[in-house]
Structure 1
């Protein structure tokens, strides 16, 4: 491949012919892997006589007869002087400039800074932690690896989104996700759900950072504090994830080709232990109504039962099976293996990367293809990624750096709507998992011969319930689908002109464009219970999102005195966002299986079955900003940083649309200021302190009243078009201002024992005032709500990062340990006068709430009624009564998160294992509560069904004989096991479905082997390795009921503010596989 560079780039010769008494030749190689280095400068020291190495690393140079000293230099490698002496052949190994690489990190606006100079915490991972992994979602690769960053997947389905939170919450109404910046340009990571939470859109929507190719990434750095992100203005208030691609990196690269092939498998991580003694029914009886609970008779008591299809009440579903099943008896026995419903999904990822360069130019291109099957039937993900980039020194003063990315992401899944296990999923839309996990164990859904899932002619859904009101999961997997196809183009191009060694001007232009096509469809014939969907529905939606971003930055470096240096950047930014959504909804399918709008009787630009969304929507916004970053350096041990930005935004009225965010910070390297403190025990110690600010703005069009004009409101079967024009219920507020966010951060960095141990400790206190709050107003005004600046939030946290090398032996054995710790306590201080709570996510009677004086996202729902002494009140039916006022159920925020990564390496063998532990946090979980209530778990975990039970608490009594129950006595009302388990474990109240989310898991484990280069010396390969990987191979939830095997790591309310809910959106996934990597 070195010859590839020779064909692509011409040699640069600098030769001055003098005193040509003799010729010296040689070869330059890398000390790291022995590979040849092309393009290395070879200069006779003290002269201009020199050359560069060819594609094979060879050089030839005329030198004086007396010899002299040769200087070898190449970007990214430490320079080396070699005395010629009497030699005619001079071979040299160059080592990586590790010191330089380790001290520089990518910070705000894509600029690199010395880490010692930073007054804020920054953490990141390099390509080694990203590549050779079977996971193709960059967000999930980062899980547990960076202190202060919390990542929760929205489910176990391949391709679904992830909720990323950095340092708590700064708003209660706006976006809480971090800003992604790729090669210096904002990169949209939006999750454009096809509908909304109540209809399941958030459970299956993809996050757009899925479009990134992990194999094309050079590094990822996370800027967490407001001082670190101040140059991004309000866009950086939730943190910034800075991605540098190999195409966008300015690193000069040797010519090489890297091929990587991944094969992996997706499986359901864990399933409950199901009981095998009792079948479908209630009160230990079977019945023709076919209960969808499993409190029926013991299998030992009954030999057979009538086939459930003979009891179907809909003749169009019953009659086609009359001949086969009308009088058929089937064994009454355990026959369902839930695991057989799922599949082992195959994953393949192929990646090819080509790079080359010289001292003047570098180029990198990567292309990749991913084909992934989820464990659920019908869940598939396909991705095509292509990136190409180059950097070039056009002249001694002008350089250009550009990266271009294209991606096509094709995602499909059965509907994964939120559900509680009480029948239909939210919004009256079916879901694959809403009822499946507690299917009757005596009816084998996998035996499609004995239990067909569709009628033979018109393909209507059939299953065990006589009213056909419980969907057959196989029918849903076959005939209901959500698809999401996204085409994306992204470009970052920068021009840099160096006026002199100390002054430069950079212009950077960025373009991010994607088109997202979403389809949701149900063929007709599902169930009469789902009135509209039973007729067949089709919803298509196209989203176009465009970002234009421009930065112009002047950089200055000056020595103000012999001890003080100034590094300054002053810049301007212009960003334009344009979002467009268009779609069509149809219902009343004519021909089964044909999913075109022309095959439906009614079409509309408003969704009927999926939440009532109006598709036609355009949104445009502009931001213009000026920013500066001044860094004063005193003797390389004391640093002062002054930074700020002023933004002008288009979505607030004049007078409120301009805001300045200042910041100040300092770092003090104590061990350099007082060198006597340095020792073998203490090698480095730095203190950090900073103050930063930012803002949170509302989405556009909230300052004025908005009329929605929908020219194509409805189209009836006759083709008549009916328009509609509506005024929103929200009153515009022209006085709306941006939220003000302020943060104080302090910390230290230390290195011990010859840098075998490093510690990074951070504490912060972040607060938000002028919260944008959705306040109710008198409906007599014609509106129901408006946005006001009210309230305050607080976030206090601790972050710790520890790196240690307990063992490093001369034989190559090395043991490295990484420990990360994160604790953040978000709290609502006030919501403004007269507002005692606000629903953040979920429903008005069960969801996340903002309550003054309580943690952010507190969970509230229905609770048991209690007497004056706090005892639960039991009604006449033996079940607990509900309090008419919802109550607080728990705090979903974890007390802390911690990660432990152990890595061993020895002579080409590497082993790594990552443990993640979450302490605390409460969850409302439908999965364990529904399984308990439906009676499907192993009997040891639930109840003795042969006994009667008395609910704990008190019952009402008449104490004075006047016929009024005015007192309480200890309850003695007996209930059957079925009533007790069904009504008191689940349907009784929400507080029975609360569980502790404490859990531990093996997040990642890998075993790799790199072949020694001696074995490769006679092959075309420069490097070769194989790595075995596993993700989420094991977990244990301490608060889960026995036998449930529930995984609390799920975000069923989507990727924004919701937290602490599991709404039967599917089990988690584990993945294992192998990665082969070859470098030419």
Structure 2
């Protein structure tokens, strides 16, 4: 037996060696990492041998391989080379090749042309189609959030289709616009991007400094966002399909009192009031009623839901060398987490490029889209008209959603003990509040090469938006009961047309000199037309607002029309000396009908220089560097966003009644200003671009300084003039900051890869001048929170940033009457009331005690993205952060204070009930907080760190037999807003109930809550 065993050993070894030497056929697929499309023509070679092949049109290959230790080398022009060990399998996992994105010949889109990345003298950031595809987003601006240094994107309204605020390098203006200029396929002034399908985007460029934005002159002060949509590629006919589905859930609801707790609280309020008043009232609830209440109605749970979302995308692209096309169809449907809210978008896009002859090229880009937003009936006016969220927070949990007969309960009870308001569920389900937008965007261009390097481009385009708003409040809900129902319909149409005529000369003159010159003449006109009609006292609730004839009371209709034009001349010269000294000079002249007769034209120059140190001979001795460029720029840009006719004498209607006849008179609406002109922003930028270790580490850093002068400022004037203010060019604001962007390739390989993108930005904003004023009170709140003049929540003060909150310093709770007496305070305060700092020492709390209690603008913002690949698997994790910003939580005034009682947060269970019980929550019937105005205890730290997005995707190997039909396939799951680390007590620290307001920043009142999202999707290429 032992001898037999010994004989088997050499036989087994021989069999193993024979098996190892045998060859087998190995198959695989090669895809582009950017869009997961097949890559034909990729060289696949067995390392150390002459055995090799190339991928076919479907990206697949097959070749003989000997042994399990063989290594395949994949190489393709313009892509990174990768190596993969075969192992024992006959099918290699799909390999994704990454384009050499750090190539010096990369082209980026700039104003009226393109440039090689190595030739840029200004500060320009790019987002590629691959980055857009990483994250399922509803609107393109969302991809900029936390991914581009110097750009702060805030989701001011979290409802589907809700607004965003974008600030590029700070806030420049007080009364004018602060949003960037959007340019879509060369069409400037195209409004926001809500109607644009994100899957159509090829790239997004963000122009930040004057060298990059001065070419847009009077519209470039707030930065420029250039969106380029996809075009077809010659030789590749591709069909792409993508679909995803998901759900949205409330991220963090408020913890409120239940019915038993709130009824007990109401009784305590009334007991305290009875002890302090000579006319006592009965308590709202008897002990027996309280004992029977239980948990009651959770009104937040009643209005919130798990909301579905779906997206379908179908694209066709391809063509020949002469004709290229790209067509896409998209349908997006996102329901809101509040019942009866949501956003839908349907769009079709067609882009064509045609080479008519050797010298003539034609291009055509177009989009038609329709969006419908069902708004969630949230507003900030407070009072009895409230809103769905506001009323759900303050409604008595002891009140049921429906009464005994099955009808919605009408209003809050018991009166007069609770805050008056309507049933939020009825309000959400029965009130109609919709906005439908139909948009067409068209751009046509023809290019003629006059001489080698000299091209004439003639372009024309139009952007048409038709906006229809429908509102209906039936008589069956509290908000419509007093008027017996309300219905309205309004429509507005904005229309702009554009003509651009540019001449470009681009030639390398000799070995050491190259020149690129662009000059042009453009005309653009904007038109706006609107009307509205509304009725009340509805005959029936059956027709909604579809027939306004059902209204017995016709309210005053309205209509209006305005237009403005812009004529421009511009030129830009880019000069390269010895490929390492780069110079850019730009000038634009804008003539606008918006401004006064004495200042119709503005002039906006810029100059920039860059030095490619990496091209010096001495750098060759330092192989650690693969790129090094320093650059500097200075320029002047403008801001004209004030609306039409502001410089002219305007008149307003003054209707009145004589007997039973309605008459209309006219009154002067303003003081004309023929000298009105642009705000002017002078900007300096110094930057450096560095590449290390064969560009495995790329670093970009910028320092900038901006001063905006001649602010379009509403200046107070004596009332004896007949007006309270006049619009002047006066005042100045400063922004300065630092930006850092770092891209690293931590691990590179086909089996495992890891890349990191990090960006960091800080901006310091300061008001320098207010037409000689030292300060002015600004900011909005709600009349139901702060009555009268107490509604101002902020201050503009020379030396301080825009967005400063201004109020009283909270110092705890008065504990005893002795403490009050010893303080000498003369105000009528009681033990259990809030205590505020007497900063002016006059022994009472008045307006002179207010101080700056917070800043809306953050100290710094950042974002970190890590991308991992494991063979066919990939993982992308994006973390976003904001540090040092404050949020004014107006909800807390109602949810912690004791005035006419809305429901309360659970924290009031630890309210002051006697000396030493609480130093943060006042006693149940304290109303001092509301009577005072904004206080420091509700100006909260809005800093947060958020796991914004995490996506896992898997590239499905395509069987060899399907390679001619299905060229690529992948599936993915994504989570958004997964984890948020913050001290903020509201729904979300990223909020502003006043939208893009310049002076009411980071205010949270009745805002649509943020949601957590889970998505699963599939992509297939044919």
Which runs of structure 2 are paired with 1:705-724 in the superposition (5 Å)? 705-708=649-652, 722=662, 724=664
Structure 2 counterpart SS, 1:731: coil
Q: Is the 8 A contact 1:167 1:797 kept in 2?
A: yes
CA distance in 2, matches of 1:1052, 1:1016: 56
2:895 — aligned with what?
A: 931
Q: Offset of 1:302 from its aligned partner?
A: 3.9
Q: Is the 8 A contact 1:172 1:840 kept in 2?
A: no
Q: Is the 8 A contact 1:279 1:297 kept in 2?
A: no
Q: Is the 8 A contact 2:766 2:801 kept in 1?
A: yes
The Cα offsets for residues 227-275 of structure 1, whole Å up to 9 and x where unpaired, read as 21111111222111111111xx475461010011110111111113345
2:226 — aligned with what?
A: 242
Distance 1:299 1:263, change over 3 A: farther
2:570 — aligned with what?
A: 627
1:875 — aligned with what?
A: 828
Q: Is the 8 A contact 2:827 2:845 kept in 1?
A: no
Q: Offset of 1:500 from its aligned partner?
A: 3.0
Q: Offset of 1:290 from its aligned partner?
A: 14
CA distance in 1, matches of 2:331, 2:273: 47
CA distance in 2, matches of 1:138, 1:181: 13
Give unpaired runs (5+ residues) of structure 2.
1-28, 43-54, 61-75, 81-94, 275-280, 783-788, 813-819, 836-843
The Cα offsets for residues 761-816 of structure 1, whole Å up to 9 and x where unpaired, read as 011000011112101222222222211121111001111111112122x4520111
The Cα offsets for residues 165-221 of structure 1, whole Å up to 9 and x where unpaired, read as 1111221111111111111112532xxxxxxxxxxxxxxxxxx42100011111111
1:64 — aligned with what?
A: none
What root-mean-square deviation, in Å, do the aligned CA atoms of Structure 1 and Structure 2 show?
A: 3.9
1:897 — aligned with what?
A: 861
CA distance in 2, matches of 1:1078, 1:298: 67
1:523 — aligned with what?
A: 474
Structure 2 counterpart SS, 1:278: helix
Which runs of structure 2 are paired with 1:687-726 in the superposition (5 Å)? 687-697=630-640, 698-708=642-652, 722=662, 724-726=664-666
Structure 2 counterpart SS, 1:130: helix
Structure 2 counterpart SS, 1:787: strand
Which runs of structure 2 are paired with 1:564-963 in the superposition (5 Å)? 564-594=513-543, 595=545, 596-605=547-556, 615-677=558-620, 679-697=622-640, 698-708=642-652, 722=662, 724-808=664-748, 810-834=749-773, 836-837=775-776, 839=778, 845-861=791-807, 875-878=828-831, 879=833, 880=835, 882-885=845-848, 887-933=851-897, 939=906, 943=910, 947-948=914-915
CA distance in 1, matches of 2:361, 2:752: 43
Which runs of structure 2 are paired with 1:376-455 in the superposition (5 Å)? 376-418=338-380, 424-425=382-383, 429-445=385-401, 448=402, 454=408
Aligned counterpart in structure 2 of residue 539 of structure 1, from 488, 492, 500: 488
Structure 2 counterpart SS, 1:768: strand
TM-score normalised by structure 1 residue count: 0.78
Distance 1:840 1:402, change over 3 A: farther
Is 1:977 the counterpart of 2:923? The answer is: yes
CA distance in 2, matches of 1:1000, 1:297: 49
Q: Is the 8 A contact 1:683 1:751 kept in 2?
A: yes
> Structure 1 residues 113-122 or 595-604, which shifts more?
595-604
Is 1:1020 the counterpart of 2:965? The answer is: yes
CA distance in 2, matches of 1:94, 1:1001: 30
Structure 1 counterpart SS, 2:614: helix
Distance 1:502 1:873, change over 3 A: farther
CA distance in 1, matches of 2:136, 2:971: 12
Q: Is the 8 A contact 1:707 1:725 kept in 2?
A: no
Q: Is the 8 A contact 1:587 1:600 kept in 2?
A: yes
Q: Is the 8 A contact 2:341 2:376 kept in 1?
A: yes
Distance 1:347 1:99, change over 3 A: closer
Q: Is the 8 A contact 1:488 1:512 kept in 2?
A: yes
Structure 1 counterpart SS, 2:379: coil
Structure 2 counterpart SS, 1:978: coil
2:26 — aligned with what?
A: none
CA distance in 2, matches of 1:565, 1:365: 37
Distance 1:118 1:976, change over 3 A: closer
Distance 1:832 1:565, change over 3 A: same
1:116 — aligned with what?
A: 118
1:160 — aligned with what?
A: 162
Q: Offset of 1:726 from its aligned partner?
A: 3.1
Structure 2 counterpart SS, 1:538: strand
CA distance in 1, matches of 2:39, 2:867: 30
Q: Offset of 1:857 from its aligned partner?
A: 2.1
Q: Offset of 1:1050 from its aligned partner?
A: 0.6
1:24 — aligned with what?
A: none
Q: Offset of 1:737 from its aligned partner?
A: 2.3
Distance 1:715 1:517, change over 3 A: farther
Q: Is the 8 A contact 1:118 1:666 kept in 2?
A: no
Distance 1:166 1:829, change over 3 A: same
The Cα offsets for residues 658-709 of structure 1, whole Å up to 9 and x where unpaired, read as 1110000011110112353464422111101000211223422122221236
Distance 1:146 1:721, change over 3 A: farther
Aligned counterpart in structure 1 of residue 443 of structure 2, from 492, 503, 513: 492
Q: Offset of 1:1048 from its aligned partner?
A: 1.0
CA distance in 2, matches of 1:637, 1:523: 70
Structure 2 counterpart SS, 1:209: coil
Is 1:1055 the counterpart of 2:1017? The answer is: no
Q: Is the 8 A contact 2:159 2:376 kept in 1?
A: no
Q: Is the 8 A contact 1:862 1:990 kept in 2?
A: yes
Q: Is the 8 A contact 1:1032 1:1071 kept in 2?
A: yes
Is 1:233 the counterpart of 2:217? The answer is: yes
CA distance in 1, matches of 2:378, 2:38: 53
Q: Offset of 1:133 from its aligned partner?
A: 3.5
Q: Is the 8 A contact 2:355 2:361 kept in 1?
A: yes
CA distance in 1, matches of 2:766, 2:823: 27
CA distance in 2, matches of 1:535, 1:715: 24
The Cα offsets for residues 736-762 of structure 1, whole Å up to 9 and x where unpaired, read as 222211000011111112211111101
Distance 1:985 1:1030, change over 3 A: farther
CA distance in 1, matches of 2:919, 2:376: 42
CA distance in 2, matches of 1:466, 1:818: 57
CA distance in 1, matches of 2:156, 2:667: 34
2:11 — aligned with what?
A: none
Q: Is the 8 A contact 2:233 2:317 kept in 1?
A: no
Distance 1:238 1:625, change over 3 A: same
Structure 2 counterpart SS, 1:1028: strand
Distance 1:272 1:864, change over 3 A: closer
1:347 — aligned with what?
A: 309
The Cα offsets for residues 987-1007 of structure 1, whole Å up to 9 and x where unpaired, read as 654113211111111111111
Structure 1 counterpart SS, 2:194: helix
Distance 1:976 1:232, change over 3 A: closer
CA distance in 2, matches of 1:735, 1:645: 20
Q: Offset of 1:723 from its aligned partner?
A: 5.3
TM-score normalised by structure 2 residue count: 0.82
CA distance in 2, matches of 1:807, 1:870: 66
Q: Offset of 1:1027 from its aligned partner?
A: 1.0
Is 1:363 the counterpart of 2:325? The answer is: yes
Q: Offset of 1:605 from its aligned partner?
A: 4.0
Distance 1:398 1:297, change over 3 A: farther
Which runs of structure 2 are paired with 1:252-291 in the superposition (5 Å)? 252=234, 254-275=236-257, 278-280=261-263, 282=265, 284-285=267-268
